[in-house]
Homo-oligomer: A and B are copies of this chain.
């Protein structure tokens, strides 16, 4: 059979990650280029097309070997049309991304929200292990989410489905969130949220290891919290306990509604591994219905930064083959 390749693209505000992906999901080539956001992002499509042609040429892959492009893009998108209403980070406004890129490269292009393609990637080749019912929670600077049910990404009525980060975890008196509300789980369990909780509590924990780290560097990260907790610092242990309590409860409530078989935890905070997963499992099992927790497995995402490009490739595969 003729070799058929998929192109996966993960378009971010700083870099554009790209990959040539075999039809079984293995990455043949991957690379990235900087995102040129000058002049309202007008060069981005051309940069992508040029870079793909160059890489194909270098790799001796004829352009006819590619069957399509799948891309995760930020902003507010009409997914069917691949039309970007607004992507602040890129400067795009009312921009026909799909049409423009198809014209530039002569391949069919499929667009998905950037938060969702990582979930598709983890489902296809990562920790999701082909689960048809999967919740992906990405604990990074913010909290992103992607929900797959019956094998399909849920989009909701205007593309907002999966906004797990803005589920309210603290009903009253929670910290302000970028979204304008307060007490969102993003304010607690994102990397930013964990660091904030650590710093706000320093004066009440003057003898903690976290305080010593802060004094040495004048800042704290989520990584510091997990490291100090591993080093038996009681303030850091309390933070991990509180964070996993709120996150476990939020995930259990979602799982009671969605009954997933896999809950994939990704993003920078997930590097804490079992230090995160073990207490999360305890809380999850406490708040999920027994049959829901029996059917669900919490796992750490396994594809890292490749999840997006692999998810992009899956978009092509699921639409065309």
Contact = CB atoms under 8 A, between A and B. Distances in A.
Interface in A251-297: 252-254, 256-261, 286-287, 289-292, 295-296
A7 to B, nearest CB: 26
A125 B161 CA distance: 25
Interface stretch (A18-26, A166-174, A200-208): A166-174
Contacts of A249: 168, 171
A203 to B, nearest CB: 27
A54 interface: no
Contacts of A260: 156-157
B163 A257 contact: yes
A146 to B, nearest CB: 11
State the number of copies, please.
2
Contacts of A286: 181
A187 to B, nearest CB: 14
A149 interface: yes
A133 interface: yes
B167 A257 contact: yes
A217 interface: no
Nearest to A152: B150
Given A161-B258, A254-B257, 14 more contacts: A133-B157, A150-B152, A155-B259, A156-B258, A156-B259, A156-B260, A157-B295, A157-B296, A167-B256, A168-B249, A168-B287, A179-B289, A181-B287, A253-B253
A308 interface: no
Interface of A: 131-133, 145, 147, 149-150, 152, 154-164, 166-168, 171, 179-181, 249-250, 252-254, 256-261, 286-287, 289-292, 295-296
Contacts of A145: 257
Contacts of A168: 249, 252-253, 287
A156 B149 contact: yes
Contact of A147 (B257, B290, B292): B257
B261 A164 contact: no
A286 to B, nearest CB: 8
B157 A289 contact: no
A81 to B, nearest CB: 17
